[in-house]
Amino acid sequence: MEFKKCERCGCFFISEDNVCCNCKTKDRADTIKLQNFIEEHGTSCSIEEISSQTGITIKNLNRFESINKIADIDKDNINIEL
Protein backbone atom coordinates (compact mmCIF):
# COMPACT_ATOMS: atom_id res chain seq x y z
CA MET A 1 0.00 0.00 0.00
CA GLU A 2 1.20 3.47 -0.79
CA PHE A 3 -0.06 6.98 -0.40
CA LYS A 4 -1.95 8.22 -3.38
CA LYS A 5 -3.19 11.66 -4.24
CA CYS A 6 -6.91 11.79 -4.85
CA GLU A 7 -7.63 12.71 -8.47
CA ARG A 8 -10.74 14.55 -7.45
CA CYS A 9 -9.97 16.57 -4.31
CA GLY A 10 -6.18 16.27 -4.10
CA CYS A 11 -6.02 14.82 -0.58
CA PHE A 12 -3.67 11.96 0.24
CA PHE A 13 -5.08 8.59 1.08
CA ILE A 14 -4.19 4.90 1.13
CA SER A 15 -6.16 2.74 -1.23
CA GLU A 16 -6.02 0.84 -4.46
CA ASP A 17 -8.37 3.38 -6.01
CA ASN A 18 -7.56 6.64 -7.75
CA VAL A 19 -9.84 8.72 -5.54
CA CYS A 20 -10.34 8.90 -1.77
CA CYS A 21 -13.38 7.28 -0.17
CA ASN A 22 -15.26 10.61 0.08
CA CYS A 23 -14.79 11.25 -3.58
CA LYS A 24 -15.64 7.69 -4.47
CA THR A 25 -19.17 8.38 -3.29
CA LYS A 26 -19.28 11.61 -5.29
CA ASP A 27 -17.86 9.86 -8.33
CA ARG A 28 -20.61 7.26 -8.12
CA ALA A 29 -23.28 9.94 -7.87
CA ASP A 30 -21.81 11.77 -10.86
CA THR A 31 -21.55 8.53 -12.81
CA ILE A 32 -25.23 7.88 -12.27
CA LYS A 33 -26.12 11.44 -13.33
CA LEU A 34 -24.00 10.96 -16.41
CA GLN A 35 -25.57 7.61 -17.17
CA ASN A 36 -29.07 9.09 -16.88
CA PHE A 37 -28.09 12.00 -19.08
CA ILE A 38 -26.73 9.68 -21.76
CA GLU A 39 -29.86 7.56 -21.64
CA GLU A 40 -31.98 10.65 -22.27
CA HIS A 41 -29.78 12.51 -24.71
CA GLY A 42 -27.49 9.90 -26.20
CA THR A 43 -23.76 10.35 -26.58
CA SER A 44 -23.89 13.08 -29.20
CA CYS A 45 -23.61 15.99 -26.74
CA SER A 46 -20.30 17.74 -26.29
CA ILE A 47 -18.56 17.44 -22.98
CA GLU A 48 -19.34 21.14 -22.31
CA GLU A 49 -23.06 20.52 -22.80
CA ILE A 50 -22.99 17.49 -20.57
CA SER A 51 -21.13 19.46 -17.93
CA SER A 52 -23.52 22.40 -17.94
CA GLN A 53 -26.58 20.17 -17.82
CA THR A 54 -25.42 17.65 -15.25
CA GLY A 55 -23.29 19.92 -13.08
CA ILE A 56 -20.38 17.50 -13.40
CA THR A 57 -17.15 19.38 -13.99
CA ILE A 58 -15.36 18.94 -17.31
CA LYS A 59 -12.33 17.72 -15.42
CA ASN A 60 -14.38 14.93 -13.88
CA LEU A 61 -16.07 14.08 -17.16
CA ASN A 62 -12.65 13.68 -18.74
CA ARG A 63 -11.63 11.43 -15.88
CA PHE A 64 -14.70 9.24 -16.25
CA GLU A 65 -14.13 9.03 -19.95
CA SER A 66 -10.58 7.83 -19.49
CA ILE A 67 -11.48 5.39 -16.73
CA ASN A 68 -14.47 3.87 -18.49
CA LYS A 69 -15.73 4.41 -21.97
CA ILE A 70 -18.72 6.50 -20.92
CA ALA A 71 -21.26 4.52 -22.90
CA ASP A 72 -20.00 1.27 -21.43
CA ILE A 73 -20.62 2.14 -17.80
CA ASP A 74 -22.09 -0.94 -16.27
CA LYS A 75 -25.14 -0.03 -14.24
CA ASP A 76 -25.01 -3.24 -12.27
CA ASN A 77 -21.72 -2.19 -10.78
CA ILE A 78 -23.11 1.07 -9.48
CA ASN A 79 -24.52 0.89 -6.00
CA ILE A 80 -25.26 4.17 -4.36
CA GLU A 81 -26.83 4.94 -1.05
CA LEU A 82 -28.16 8.45 -0.82
Q: Which residues contact 52 (CB under 8 A, 6 or more apart)?
A: none
Supply the minimum distance, in Å, between the C-beta of residue 40 and Zn ion.
28
Nearest in space to 7 (alpha carbons), one of 72, 57, 50: 57
How is the chain split among helix, strand and coil, in percent rounded to 5?
55, 5, 40
How far apart, in whole angstroms, are the C-alpha atoms of residue 2 and residue 14?
6
60 near Zn ion, judged by CB under 5 A: no
Which listed residue (3, 14, 20, 79) binds Zn ion by CB under 5 A?
A: 20
Supply the minimum distance, in Å, between the C-beta of residue 68 and Zn ion.
18
30 near Zn ion, judged by CB under 5 A: no
**Contact letters for Zn ion, residues 33-52 (x by CB under 5 A):** --------------------
**Using CB under 5 A as the criterion, which residues of the chain lie in contact with Zn ion when the complex forms?**
6, 8-9, 20, 23
